[in-house]
Amino acid sequence: MHEAEISILNLTGQKVYMQKLTGIVSGNEININVQNLEKGIYILQCKTLDYTTSMKIKLE
Element (H, E) at 47: strand 40-47
Domain count, the chain: 1
Q: Is residue 32 part of a domain?
A: no
Phi-psi region of 13 (alpha: psi -120 to 50; beta: other; left: phi over 0): left
**Cα separation, 20 vs 14, whole angstroms:** 17
* pLDDT tens by residue, the chain, 60 residues: 689 999 999 999 999 999 999 887 777 788 999 999 999 999 999 998 889 999 999 999
Q: Is residue 21 part of a domain?
A: yes
Write the CATH number for 47: 2.60.40.3080
pTM: 0.86
